[in-house]
Amino acid sequence: MSYLFQKIEWKKMILILLIIGIAFHAMPLTAGIIVAYFLSPISLFLTNRLKIPRIFSTLLTLFLFCLIAAASASIFLTLTWLQIKDTIYLLQQGTLLDSPTSNQILSALDRQLILYMEKIQTTIPSILSEIPTKFFEFVLFCFALFFSLYESFRNRYWIFDFFPRKIKKEALFFFQKSTSLLTIFVKIETQLLLVTFVVLSTGFLIIGFHSPLQASSLITLADLIPFIGTGMILFPMIVYFILIDSKMIAIYLTCLYCILIIIRQLLENYLWANSVHTRPIITFFIGAASIIFFGIYGLILSPIFLATYYHFTSNNER
């Protein structure tokens, strides 16, 4: 009897994974449905509390989401451009640190910039050819987001009305568990980003960096990149100060990076242990495997795989 139960469970699981595969290949629609699930409380608030008609509250929620996304991208690009411009200016003036090596590094940067510009010119035709496809995907995402938000007034889990009845309960469980884990992940990452910004800002102020808050903001945003994080910017900075014979600054930055890593690791272990009551190493490996196999979409799919892991481990414990 137990073997038959396990066989049925595996059949349901295969069907659920098949649906996930289909959703992965229709990512603009899937992303619109998932984003609408998290934004639906906003449209419900606009309708129930502010008495705005459903159609207008849905459009307003969609507009606010696009506005915040565009503003976030604009802030990131502005910070990046300002930091690059300030760094190049200081190198040209020799005020970042006075050394003949600065001119050599600046010349190398100029050569690399020319190479990148030539590479961009050769890839412009392929980029232009992808614009209609990307625009079409964006339109699909917006339509999926709009209709999903509107359907959420009736039922926040409306998409599961179209699932086969025999797996509807299990699919809903995995979705609820995955969205719960994704919410926990966002909360923990937000706290870690805030701690990263405070530690970097304090360290840069002590060292006496030019525009410490601006540099801290950019490095903190880089911390969102999986497996790279702050080291993507701090390591080249350390190497640069070693090359221009400013070893004390390099030592200060190395100590700052070590302190940041220790604080983040301790805090991350504490937050994950108190949130999902599991070891962070399990979460790391599942998230890493998801990103390796599915790319950037693995960030969305990893909570689903984590929920699957919890489901089977809890069944085995019983």
Q: Quick: pLDDT tens for 135-148.
A: 888 899 999 999 99
- Which residue has better confidence, 318 or 143? 143
Q: Whose CA is closest to 102, among 115, 111, 92?
A: 92
Q: Tokens in use for 149?
A: 């938000």
Q: Where are the domains of the chain?
A: 29-162
Give CB contacts under 8 A, 24+ apart, made by 9-17. 12/166, 12/167, 12/170, 13/170, 13/308, 15/164, 15/167, 16/167, 16/170, 16/171, 16/174
DSSP state of 269: H
Residue 5 has pLDDT above 50, yes or no: no
Residue 170 and residue 164 in contact, taking contact as beta carbons nearer than 8 Å: no
Give the span between the Cα atoms of 318 and 307, in whole angstroms. 17
What is the band of 6 on the pLDDT scale with cuts at 50, 70, 90? very low
Nearest 5°: the CA angle 38, 269, 259 is 110
- What is residue 3's predicted lDDT score, i.e. its pLDDT? 41
Burial of 182 (0-12, 13-18, 19+ CB in 10 A): buried
What pLDDT, in 10s, does the model give residues 147-195? 999 999 988 888 888 887 777 887 788 788 778 877 887 888 888 889 9
For 9-13, 53-57, 179-183, 266-270, which range has the lowest pLDDT when averaged over its residues?
A: 9-13
What value does the mean pLDDT of the chain take? 76
Residue 187, SS3 per DSSP: helix
The DSSP string of 24-92 is HHTHHHHHHHHHHHHHHHHHHHHHHTT---HHHHHHHHHHHHHHHHHHHHHHHHHHHHHHHHHHHHHHH
What pLDDT, in 10s, does the model give residues 83-121? 667 666 655 555 444 455 555 555 655 566 666 666 666
Nearest 5°: the CA angle 10, 15, 17 is 90
- What is residue 1's predicted lDDT score, i.e. its pLDDT? 38
Give every CB contact of residue 204 below 8 A, 6+ residues apart in sequence: 212, 215, 216
Q: Whose CA is closest to 43, among 67, 63, 68, 69?
A: 63
What pLDDT, in 10s, does the model give residues 205-253? 888 777 778 778 878 877 776 556 677 778 877 877 777 667 788 888 8
Rg, C-alpha atoms of the chain: 24
- What is residue 63's predicted lDDT score, i.e. its pLDDT? 94
Give the span between the Cα atoms of 140 and 146, in whole angstroms. 10
Mean pLDDT of 4-18: 60
What pLDDT, in 10s, does the model give residues 50-91? 889 999 999 999 999 999 989 988 887 787 777 667 666 655
Residue 32 and residue 26 in contact, taking contact as beta carbons nearer than 8 Å: no
What pLDDT, in 10s, does the model give residues 26-48? 888 888 888 999 999 999 999 98
Mean pLDDT of 8-30: 73
- State the virtual CA torsion across 207, 209, 211, 216 in degrees, nearest 10: -60
- State the virtual CA torsion across 296, 302, 303, 307 in degrees, nearest 10: 160
Give the span between the Cα atoms of 258 and 260, in whole angstroms. 5
- What is residue 62's predicted lDDT score, i.e. its pLDDT? 92
